[in-house]
């Protein structure tokens, strides 16, 4: 697992050092640097997949497109380099790229200094034990694409930009054809078995009661059907376009968590999208359980309900041994520094009983402020 991330002179991050846990939660205002943290890891993976990481950093590709070097370089940079560093438990691996004036109009940073490539082979950031679930996920559709290489060989939910457009193919292949079993720590007791498809439906019911999801294979594509079990009866199956957006947006997260092996790495943006507050909380608890089971998750969220789900999971772990050990969680509130041009990450610690050690100004405090105004206090 990744235990440390260094970022120097990338976008809003002049100098950032983050300790990472089994679960790392990034919160904060818009444009405070949360996405840039995830982008730093995606840029490393993208360059590795393009076989150029030993030469430089590729800003545009299948995972993300940043633009030109001037778009990536921190406005407050005092040095003529940009640098990322990761520590997966075997020491810090650091890349430093040329960011002098002559490269700013290019879309590729040339490498000045880098680690031994052999040190990277075991990191999930560079293997198939990785998923990126972006905020801009695939919307509901009558059909979804087939991609044998990306799904069956590389175990990916996405072909481009973390859209998770291959979720139907993935769920059919690993849930129906391969009957993959999920990690013991993620088995929902209501499931008919520990197999992926049964567990996906069980966890989806936590998010949307009574729902049953079934992937179907066509000649050149896949589809998702949703039915509801009510009072012992099952409704007809509906196409994804005829049920709520929330089901389609949550499904890739549920599938990714349940299909991952230990020491996998998942990057998740805005898990709360299109979900009711109760479903957001349940999904937060599920993410926490996955992290405790040995899957590393880095999640960016604006939802106090997702956060509360994680805090409840830490309390439940203390009381019942189910959830997540608070020592395995790193929680950060990201905000702009006084100059307004660079980011600061303030750690918020879980101290026990699901409580935090302090509440930074702006850290999910808006509801209290709104209610104070409405109630006239």
- Is residue 81 domain-resident? yes
Domain range enclosing 91? 1-129+264-377
- Is residue 206 domain-resident? yes
Give the DSSP letter of residue 180: P
Closest among 350, 344, 354, 355 to 29, alpha carbons compared: 344
- Is residue 287 domain-resident? yes
Q: E strand or H helix at 6, and its extent?
A: strand 4-10
Which of 259, 280, 297 is the last residue in one of the domains?
Answer: 259
- Is residue 56 domain-resident? yes
pTM: 0.95
The count of structural domains within the chain is: 2
Residues 194 and 280 grouped into a single domain: no
CA max distance for the chain? 69
List the pLDDT tens digit at each of the 377 positions of the chain. Answer: 999 999 999 999 999 999 999 999 999 988 899 999 999 999 999 999 999 999 999 999 999 999 999 999 998 999 999 999 999 888 899 999 999 999 999 999 999 999 987 778 779 999 999 999 999 999 999 999 999 999 999 999 999 999 999 999 999 999 999 999 999 999 998 888 999 999 999 999 988 889 999 999 999 999 999 999 888 889 999 999 999 889 999 999 999 999 999 999 999 999 999 999 999 999 999 999 999 999 999 999 999 999 999 999 999 999 999 999 999 999 999 998 877 778 899 999 999 899 999 998 888 877 777 777 778 86
- Is residue 14 domain-resident? yes
Residues 304 and 254 grouped into a single domain: no
Q: E strand or H helix at 7, and its extent?
A: strand 4-10
| 3-class DSSP state of 96 | strand
Residues 4 and 117 grouped into a single domain: yes
Give the DSSP letter of residue 237: P
């Amino acid at each position: 697992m990744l235990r440390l991330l260094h970022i120097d002179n990338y976008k809003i991050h002049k100098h950032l050092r983050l300790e990472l846990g089994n679960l790392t939660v990034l919160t904060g205002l818009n444009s405070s640097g949360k996405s840039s943290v995830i982008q730093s890891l995606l840029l490393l993976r993208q360059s590795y997949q393009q076989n150029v990481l030993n030469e430089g950093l590729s800003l545009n590709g299948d995972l993300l497109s940043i633009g030109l070097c001037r778009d990536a370089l921190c406005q407050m940079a005092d040095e003529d380099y940009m640098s990322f560093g990761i520590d997966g438990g075997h020491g810090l691996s650091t890349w430093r790229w040329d960011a002098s004036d002559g490269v700013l109009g290019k879309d590729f940073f040339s490498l000045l200094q880098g680690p031994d490539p052999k040190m990277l082979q075991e990191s999930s950031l560079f293997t198939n034990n990785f998923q990126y679930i972006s905020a801009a996920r695939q919307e509901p559709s009558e059909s979804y694409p087939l991609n044998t290489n990306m799904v069956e060989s590389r175990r990916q939910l996405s072909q481009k930009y973390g859209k998770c457009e291959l979720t139907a193919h993935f769920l059919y292949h690993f849930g129906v054809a391969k009957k993959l079993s999920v990690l013991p720590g993620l088995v929902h007791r209501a499931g008919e078995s520990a197999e992926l498809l049964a567990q996906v439906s069980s966890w989806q019911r936590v998010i949307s009661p009574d729902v049953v999801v079934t992937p179907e294979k066509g000649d050149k594509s896949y589809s998702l059907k949703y039915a509801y079990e009510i009072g012992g009866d099952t409704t007809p199956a509906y196409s994804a376009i005829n049920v709520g957006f929330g089901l389609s947006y949550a499904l890739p997260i549920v599938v990714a968590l349940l299909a991952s092996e230990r020491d996998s790495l998942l990057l998740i943006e805005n898990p709360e999208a299109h979900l009711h507050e109760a479903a957001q909380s349940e999904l937060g608890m599920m993410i926490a359980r996955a992290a405790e089971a040995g899957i590393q998750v880095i999640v960016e969220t604006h939802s106090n309900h997702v956060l509360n789900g994680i805090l409840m999971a830490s309390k439940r772990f203390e009381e019942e041994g189910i959830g997540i050990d608070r020592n395995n969680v790193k929680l950060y509130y990201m905000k702009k520094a006084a100059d307004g041009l660079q980011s600061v990450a303030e750690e918020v610690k879980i101290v026990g009983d699901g409580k935090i050690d302090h509440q930074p100004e702006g850290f999910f405090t808006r509801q209290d402020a709104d209610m104070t105004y409405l109630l006239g206090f």
